[in-house]
Every structure is written in C-alpha cells, then in structure tokens.
Structure 1
Amino acid sequence: MTQRIIKLGEGYGDVFELFTLMEAMPDRVDRLLALHTIKNDEERTSLACIFKPTNQGNFHPIYICLEGIPKPNDQRNKRYEMFKALSEQFDKPIVEFTVPPSETYHEEEQYFQQIIAVLRLNHLLPPI
C-alpha cells in the first residue's frame, strides 16, 4: 500500500478544492484532520482528509491544505465552520493534532513523512 500526502495548496481557495473532493467521493472519506501549528508567529491550521484506499493500486491518499487557514479560536472562521459541517454530514469527527510548522523541515516531503508516521502511531492510518 502506498500512503501519500497530496498537497492541494496553501491558499484560502485550496480549501474549497478539498471540500469538493470530499463531496464528490463521500464513500471514500475515512477521517478528517485539523493540524494546528504556529508559523511566522501566527496560529495556522492545515485541513486534511484521509481517503480510503483505491480498489486498484491500493493507493491511500491524504489530501491536505497546508497551513492554509487561521487556527479556529474564539473568532469566526468560515472555512473551518464549513469543514466542521462536512464532518457532521459525513459523521466523521475531526481529529486534531498540534504539529511543528512545515518550515521546520528541510524538505516538504520529510515533513509529510513525519505526519504519516504520527498518523500511523495513532492508528489513524494502517501500517504498510
């Protein structure tokens, strides 16, 4: 099985692409993630969705909008509220983690491998 994080982008609009993917393939949505971090002295959140593996090729994708929205605190955050609404629609709770910022790693791929390892250790992804 190949498990890979697919970065949709870092901008606000990329979150809507994630929502569209989830709505287009609701039967494949497995888990929803909110990864919180501090980047450039700002609290940021990466929204991600773990999809069930494909039937052919056994590919297990995790789509992510990397550090794309402000961390939801007391202030309104429309994109996070929309993510929460999808969570309720799919009956999938949002799993939240605090992680280091992606810039901590020399390469983005190293960061993604670390996130995958954390997800495996927490039994959110199966071992390979």
Structure 2
Amino acid sequence: MTQHFIKLGEGYGDVYELMTLIDSMPERVQHLLALHTHKNGEDVTSFAAIMKPTTQGHFLPIYICLEGMPKPVEGKSHKRYQAFQQVSERIDVPIIEFDVQPSTNFHDESLYFQQLIAVLRLNHLLPPI
C-alpha cells in the first residue's frame, strides 16, 4: 500500500478545496486531522483528510493544507476552522488534533511528510505497509 501526502497549498482557498473533496467523497474519508504547530513566531494549523485506500493500486492519499491557518485559541475559533468542524459533523468523522513540529525543521518537505506518516502510523491512524 502506498501512503502519500497530497499538498493542496497553504492559502485560505485551499481549505475550501479540501472541504469540497471531503464533501464529494464522504464515504472515503477515514480520518480528519488538525495538526497544530509553531512556525515563524505564529501558532498555525494544518488541516488534513486521510482517505481510505483505492481498490485498484491500494493508494492511500492524505490531502493536506499545510500550516496556513491560524491556530484556534480557547473561546475563539476562526471561520475556516468552524467550516472544517461543520464538515466533520456533516460526515460524522471527528477531527483528531495533534501538536507537531513545523515543516521548517526539515531540510526537505518530503522528509517532513515522512515524519508525519510515521507519527500517524504510531498512533494507528495509518495502517502499516
């Protein structure tokens, strides 16, 4: 089984693209993630959706909007985070939240994604290969 991150981008519009993907394939969504980190002096969040593997090829995509949203603080969440929560409620898949290292701690973005895959496997959110 191939497990691969598909980066949609870091902007606000990319979050809506992720939500559209989730809404168009709700039966394929296995987990929804909010990955919190501290990057360049700011607390930011990445949104991700782990999909169920494809029948042919056993490809398991993880769609991600990388470190583009402000991290919600207690008592105050942002419009896009609220929209992500609404999608979560609509498809009845809870958002799993993690604190992770920022991508800037890694020489290459692919190394960062490999580290995230390892974290997700250790937490049994991804199956072993």
Q: Decide: shared fold, TM above 0.5.
A: yes
Q: Which segments of structure 1 move beyond 3 Å, counting only runs of 4 or more?
A: none
Q: TM-score, normalised by structure 1?
A: 0.98
What is the alpha-carbon root mean square deviation over aligned residues? 0.7
Q: TM-score, normalised by structure 2?
A: 0.97
| 1:32 is aligned to 2:32 | yes
**Percentage of matched positions with identical amino acids:** 66
Aligned residues: 128
User: Which residue of structure 2 aligns with residue 114 of structure 1?
Assistant: 115
Query: Secondary structure, in 3 states, of the residue corresponding to 1:69?
Result: strand
Looking at structure 1, the residues matched to 126 and 60 of structure 2 have their Cα atoms a distance apart, in angstroms, of 9
Please report how far the alpha carbon of residue 66 of structure 1 lies from its aligned counterpart in structure 2 after TM superposition.
0.1
**Where do 5+ consecutive residues of structure 1 fail to align?**
none
User: Which residue of structure 2 aligns with residue 17 of structure 1?
Assistant: 17
Looking at structure 2, the residues matched to 76 and 119 of structure 1 have their Cα atoms a distance apart, in angstroms, of 25
User: Which residue of structure 2 aligns with residue 125 of structure 1?
Assistant: 126
Looking at structure 1, the residues matched to 96 and 12 of structure 2 have their Cα atoms a distance apart, in angstroms, of 21
User: Which residue of structure 1 aligns with residue 65 of structure 2?
Assistant: 65
Looking at structure 2, the residues matched to 57 and 95 of structure 1 have their Cα atoms a distance apart, in angstroms, of 27
User: Which residue of structure 1 aligns with residue 99 of structure 2?
Assistant: 98
